[in-house]
Amino acid sequence: MQRKSHLSTYKDVGVDVAAGEAAVSLFSSKVNKTFDDRVLNDVGGFGALYGIANLGIDEPALVSSTDGVGTKTQLARYLGRYSSIGQDLVAMCVDDIACYGAKPLFFLDYLSVGKQIPEVVSQLVTGIADACLRARCSLIGGETAEHPGVMDPDDFDLGGFVVGVVDTQKLWSSDRVQKGDVLLGLSSPNLRSNGFSLVRKIYGLDALNKDRVDGRSEVSAPILEQLLEPSVIYSPYLADMPLRERVHAASHITGGGLLHNLARSIPKGLRAKVDQKSWQVPEVFEQVSNDGQISKNEMYQVFNMGIGMVLIIPKEVSGTMSAYFEDLELKTYEIGYVVEATASEERSSWIE
């Protein structure tokens, strides 16, 4: 039997160019609101132009970081709530460069989807734009890629890239850390976007998503709504902080937990000693631990446990900085201090 010929189109294989253009039209005005005077072109070009002349910094250095939100996307997918996950993306990137005392200049995003659904894409990108406004950086470019047959129609993934600037004369770094410095922890009310591979297993998110795609009944759990709450963006708090020139170093507490990340900001010959009893762990961590029967040790190795950023500072400025954050309703805790150590000792440990 002779096969009938068929003229295939891009839409036949699942790529809808028109839907992509419709999505851009929905979010472009929000993205344009993030532009400052240094953005030199509009959305839609082959690249993004950003002027860096006359930054008002004596010895400027560009600082960059790239990150994603990991499998927290699967929770947003299950709940069908896409407006806040962009804040997690921006927070992961801008708070990394904030650890050098840098201020973000511009941001780019990468969004991959199984199917272009303009309203969903618009919610995702609008969420990124809103977060960029909070972080005081311009969302100057991005890419949305449709991956039919590789991803489920309602699946998506997010990645981001930020560039900021810092005066090298005022750089925060481990080289400045001294014996006697205190560790000022900035509170995190939730998991931010770390540890969600474990969360997915505890709450069976992969099966829940499959059930929803297959049209079966949805499962509702208040804890899932709580887990989706977006990350705090610490960068603008740090940008306006009094006595910021007195900060020696900072540590962004992401995947790997408090001790692992804090050690990255401590030089050889010193050690950060952390008191687990010095702050109140938010209830959401306790529930995750109980629901998954996860040990305390494992929880502290995976999650931030209520501390999302640590500033390493001289003792005499701790009170002033704490008062500043408290006025902005961001809780702080003195969670430990820096001591001498041998070169072979680990650079962070719990106080026994």
pLDDT in tens, 11-52: 655 655 666 666 566 677 888 899 999 999 877 778 889 999
Q: With 90 as the cut, is the pLDDT of residue 329 above it? A: yes
Q: What is the DSSP string of 250-287?
A: EEE--TTHHHHHHHTT--TTEEEEE-GGGSPPPHHHHH
Q: Rounded to whole angstroms, how far apart are CA atoms 85 and 73? A: 7
Q: Rounded to whole angstroms, how far apart are CA atoms 146 and 14? A: 8
Predicted pLDDT at 28: 77
| Mean pLDDT score of the chain | 91
Q: With 90 as the cut, is the pLDDT of residue 243 above it? A: yes
Same-domain pairing of 164 and 184: no
Q: With 50 as the cut, is the pLDDT of residue 5 above it? A: no
Same-domain pairing of 107 and 120: yes
Lowest mean pLDDT among 20-24, 243-247, 263-267: 20-24
**pLDDT level of residue 1 (50, 70, 90 thresholds):** very low
Q: Give pTM, 2 decimals.
A: 0.91
Give the domain range for residue 183: 173-193+231-352
Using one digit for the tens of pLDDT, what is the confidence trace for 286-296?
A: 999 999 999 99
Question: 255: domain CATH number?
Answer: 3.90.650.10
Quote the percentage of the chain above a pLDDT of 90: 78
Does residue 114 belong to any structural domain of this protein? yes
Predicted pLDDT at 319: 97
Predicted pLDDT at 3: 40
Q: Rounded to whole angstroms, how far apart are CA atoms 332 and 339? A: 21
Same-domain pairing of 43 and 133: yes
Same-domain pairing of 235 and 127: no
* Torsion sign over Cα 109, 173, 315, 244: negative
Predicted pLDDT at 311: 98
Of residues 149 and 285, the one with the higher pLDDT is 285
Q: With 70 as the cut, is the pLDDT of residue 84 above it? A: yes
**pLDDT level of residue 157 (50, 70, 90 thresholds):** very high
Does residue 210 belong to any structural domain of this protein? no
* Number of independent structural domains in the chain: 2
Predicted pLDDT at 210: 77
